[in-house]
Amino acid sequence: MAVVIALLAVLFSLPERTLTRIKTGVGNVFLPLFGLSAAGRTLLERGANAFLPKRVLLEELARARTSNQQLRVRAAHGDEMARENDRLRQLLGWQKQSPWKLKPARVVARDTAHWWRTVRIDLGARDGVRSGLPVLVADGLVGKTGAVSHATAEVVFIGDPNCRVAVLVRETGEMGVISAMSSSVLDHRLVDLTHLPRNSSLKAGQTVYTSGLGGVFPAGLPVGTVVDSRSVGYGLYTEARVRLVADTSRVREVMVLFP
Amino acid sequence: MNRLLTTILLIAGFLGVFLQATWVVPRQLLGAPLNFLPPLIVFAAFRTDVATVSLLATLGGLLTDALSANALGVTVLPLLWIGLALHRWRELILQELGYARFVVGMFASAAAPLLTLLIVLTLGEGVAIGWDSLWKWLVVAVTGGGLTPLCFFLLDAAHERLAAHPSKPPSFRPDREIKRGRN
């Protein structure tokens, strides 16, 4: 027992960086099991796909073709708008925006403690991932990357105290910060939007996007919708509850955004 | 120290932490993961010695923290406290009855996250807890209670199968041999 306590005393006194390295090293013990688990899941999916009826596949193909055509038209329109935007930026002398590079990743593990909102993905330093990159799903922003090891990376979801997001309410132009999950409710998708002006005019249903302030998240990523707002601090501030666009408890695949 | 049982326990702890982090079915059905370490600590406290309890608490705790945003080592102390307390008073605790194992496992599974959270808060870190955390804590406690008798059953069976049994003496007894014919 004395050995264990001495070990813990040493661990708690180590610098943050060394501790992170040791933690990453200990976590790497699970890499073979992560690999086995991913291979097993792929095999199962392939097996399940092999038994899909042809009629279902044809229907899926028809839907994909229709969707593909619509997306192509929208992409062409978007390209034209991007070119126009570049021309106007050039005329005004503004800095040119670089296109987003997205890398898909699969969630391989979830936090063992239920007071954090983090997961581990199968992209790591070998794939160019570093700490502080935005992480998205198709619906919008879900969080940012945390500690990164060679083959895996931690993703800190919005709602965790270690992931603060500067946001903008599109309809009113008001800015605030999403800091942590809302503690007064049972719905884990609700988070608190703070640092709003005193005379805020937020209404339920208004959309919340990243503001681009803070330097971590680019502007314009959907985050959620306003549920309600209240006056706090004897009327000095306003706080709102925001429902996140993505249910982070069910996320299985994410995309890491490279600037 | 029973090396075989210690090895079985450490492997079970390693697999338990992996399942806790990767098995999504309990999370989706109940809203919280299954925590296998407190039931294993209960088993270790009742069946093994202090060294095995300490080893399981240390390795299990470090592995749990490695797959969490917790500071490395915060889960070790609660597991160690629970294990040593149960080991200290194991003569006074019912341990051969299923419901008793359930109750002890439930208390251990309820105490482990509470003590860990206390240490995390003492270290000055902000955590994401709300009213839904209460539900998660209840789920972890009750499922931990349910897993404890299962752990006893499986680990006892594994130990029984893998342990080397002493060879039985032959049933032939010369003093009882029936001798035929006349001398």
* Residue A158, helix vs strand vs coil: strand
Residue A132 distance to chain B (closest CA, Å) = 15
- Convert the pLDDT of each residue in B63-119 to its tens digit: 999 999 988 889 999 999 999 999 999 888 887 888 999 999 999 999 999 999 999
Q: Which residues of A touch B80 (CB under 8 A)?
A: 1, 4
* Per-window interface: B 41-60 vs A, CB < 8 A: 50, 54, 57-58
pLDDT range class, residue A41, cuts 50, 70, 90? confident
Mean pLDDT check: name the lowest of B1-5, B8-12, B156-160.
B1-5
Q: Are the Cβ atoms of B69 and A162 closer than 8 angstroms?
A: yes
Q: ipTM for the complex? A: 0.81
Q: How far is CA A137 from CA A75, A254, B155, in A?
A: 19, 5, 42
Q: What is the pTM of this model?
A: 0.83
Q: What pLDDT is recorded for position A201?
A: 81
Q: What pLDDT is recorded for position B141?
A: 95
For residues A74-85, give the mean pLDDT. Answer: 90
Contacts of A139 (CB under 8 A, 6+ apart): A222, A245, A246
Q: What pLDDT is recorded for position A2?
A: 81
Q: Are the Cβ atoms of A184 and B130 closer than 8 angstroms?
A: yes
Q: How far is CA B22 from CA A30, A112, A194, B26, B174, in A?
A: 11, 9, 33, 10, 61
Pick A237 or A223 by higher pLDDT. Answer: A223
B34 in Cβ contact with B26 (< 8 Å): yes
The residues pairing with A190 across neighbouring beta strands, listed in sequence order, are A243
* Per-window interface: A 107-126 vs B, CB < 8 A: 108-118, 120
What stretch of H or E contains A141? strand A140-148
Would the pLDDT of B136 be above 80? yes
Q: Are the Cβ atoms of B128 and A1 closer than 8 angstroms?
A: no
Q: Are the Cβ atoms of A114 and B80 closer than 8 angstroms?
A: no
- Convert the pLDDT of each residue in B45-55 to its tens digit: 999 999 999 99
Q: Are the Cβ atoms of A185 and B131 closer than 8 angstroms?
A: yes
Q: What pLDDT is recorded for position A7?
A: 84
For residues A149-160, give the mean pLDDT. Answer: 91
Mean pLDDT check: name the lowest of A193-202, B44-53, B167-176.
B167-176
Percent of chain B with pLDDT strictly greater than 70 = 97
Would the pLDDT of A110 be above 60? yes
Q: What pLDDT is recorded for position A141?
A: 92
Strands (E), chain B: none
pLDDT range class, residue A185, cuts 50, 70, 90? low
Q: What pLDDT is recorded for position B63?
A: 95
Taking residue B93's Cβ as centre, other Cβ atoms within 10 Å add up to: 15
Q: Is residue B135 within 8 angstroms of chain A, CB to CB?
A: yes
From the list B85, B81, B84, B63, the residue with the least C-alpha distance to B73 is: B63
Compare all CA atoms of chain A with the CA of B116 and give the residue at the minimum distance.
A113
- Which residue type does A250 have? R
Pick B57 or A97 by higher pLDDT. Answer: B57
From the list B21, B36, B127, the residue with the least C-alpha distance to A26 is: B21
Q: Are the Cβ atoms of A19 and B72 closer than 8 angstroms?
A: yes
Give the end-to-end CA distance of chain B in Å, rounded to a whole number: 57
Q: How far is CA B4 from CA A173, B10, B52, B153, B158, in A?
A: 65, 10, 11, 16, 10
From the list A153, A162, A166, A160, the residue with the least C-alpha distance to A223 is: A166
3-state secondary structure B102-118: HHHHHHHHHHHHHHHHH
Q: What pLDDT is recorded for position B182?
A: 63
pLDDT range class, residue A183, cuts 50, 70, 90? low
Compare all CA atoms of chain A with the CA of B32 and give the residue at the minimum distance.
A114
